[in-house]
Structure 1
């Protein structure tokens, strides 16, 4: 069984992505790691080369600055990397996502288990979305709790905006992949980077969705969905995470938006009815 890791990247250093740590977290179980690397204005390429890692395969790409429709450029870049993967499974990581070393054997065992199960096309991770600092994560239906990150390389798939996969059963019809739970957690650190880096990222990203940048202030969120993390972070993240000694405190005067009020109602329904109402880009079959 061969496993290909992959991602796409542009200006990872100045935008505050822990992309080196992300890649390092899965290197023990992948046979290759493919990176679609766009034009960079920072040290991203040098940092990748300094890894001196024989499993890395860097593909230099261009980003279509004229394409502003719903993040399609991200889908293009994701698929450039995926199309260059040669494994039985492809393991996609966004540049701010990290796998815990304690989960590596579980992940590999799940791939082995479902390799010849034709009903299973993808493997789904549980998610921890860290927010504000390393001691805090978000728990709300507004923040997806599970997502597929591993896909069989024999599946006709594409990523319309880079955020999820669609499987093509017919030429013009796409559906979410049929999936099994991998039994492991993805650690998402995008909202732990500095506010300055997050705002810089937003300025660069929003153009690809035909949107204008809105200033990001981490404190403008409801305290109700911020939970204390009592686990242990992946070893590769120890030197990247800023020190923190308590749960992140939001602005107590913040007023929930209409959408956030809806999510609060959904949380209540989840609690009393035993449901899980966050967005799902997959169909569980195992």
Structure 2
């Protein structure tokens, strides 16, 4: 796990795994709350890694401290369901060390689980052999690298429960860092403009609310689509503004 200021969520996450995993490795990136103290009450393998290298490389650092055959990558705001626990233990005992496993993440936003809006199903690789692969170097939205010849399968039984946004202030705090990292990663490599920002923003809203059936999530679906539109506009405008600054 990689964490920063996750005292509100970390205990619930660790409670869902502490009784059945062989080791817990946590890398903190400068928490100012009780995150580190909570982490140390569950494991001795708590490390601090500064300055911040981006999500992908920070996950690589966490994996470098591990010794187990399998890695289950978690965020502090995620909880492993009982059904998923049973599936992962069975796979660890029976599967060859050449397969990465997709886990279905079921996410909650502002107190409600979101069943549409492009949020569900949400298949992500989170369970994989430690010596087979690792995360890529991306600053944000990092992904597991799948080596040539490796297999990818779905864990059918069980879900990863994700409490992604507590409230609007939490959303703003969380997404601000993501948006900056998105622009940092693309600055000088990707072109933007006001028109592109508008097209991508409205495209995001239409996709989430209509194509991905966000309207079936009620008011929460509309709010998420609108916030997604706003965030998309901000990141493309940020990229364009950086281009303008560099040209002047």
Same fold (TM over 0.5): yes
RMSD across aligned positions (CA) = 3.1
What secondary structure sits across from 1:28 in the alignment? coil
Inter-CA distance 206–41: structure 2 relative to 1 (3 Å threshold): farther
What secondary structure sits across from 2:114 in the alignment? strand
Matched, 1:43 2:55: no
CA contact (8 A) 2:84 2:160 kept: no
- 1:150-229 aligned at under 5 Å gives the runs 150-161=127-138, 163-169=142-148, 178-182=151-155, 183-191=157-165, 193-210=166-183, 222=209, 224-225=213-214
Distance 1:21 1:198 in 2: 20
Distance 1:157 1:250 in 2: 35
Residue of structure 2 equivalent to 1:24? 15
- Give 5+ residue unaligned stretches, structure 1: 1-6, 68-72, 170-174, 212-219, 229-247, 261-286
What secondary structure sits across from 1:32 in the alignment? coil
Residue of structure 2 equivalent to 1:100? 81
CA contact (8 A) 1:137 1:227 kept: no
Residue by residue, what CA displacement relative to the aligned partner does 1:33-80 show, whole Å, maximum 9, x if unpaired?
00111112222222323xx22x4410111034xx6xxxxx11111110
Residue of structure 2 equivalent to 1:9? 3
Which residue, 51, 57, 82 being the options, matches 1:63? 51
Structure 1 length normalisation: TM-score? 0.60
CA contact (8 A) 2:25 2:46 kept: yes
What secondary structure sits across from 1:190 in the alignment? strand
* Larger strand fraction of residues: 1
- Give 5+ residue unaligned stretches, structure 2: 185-204, 230-248
Distance 2:6 2:225 in 1: 32
Inter-CA distance 56–100: structure 2 relative to 1 (3 Å threshold): farther
Residue of structure 1 equivalent to 2:219? 249
CA contact (8 A) 2:117 2:209 kept: no
CA contact (8 A) 1:222 1:250 kept: no
Residue by residue, what CA displacement relative to the aligned partner does 1:207-258 show, whole Å, maximum 9, x if unpaired?
32237xxxxxxxx973942667xxxxxxxxxxxxxxxxxxx63487x7978x
* Larger helix fraction of residues: 2
Which residue, 129, 133, 141 being the options, matches 2:111? 133
Distance 2:4 2:67 in 1: 23
Comparing 152-161 and 193-202, the one that deviates more: 152-161
CA contact (8 A) 2:106 2:121 kept: no
Question: How many residues align structurally?
Answer: 201
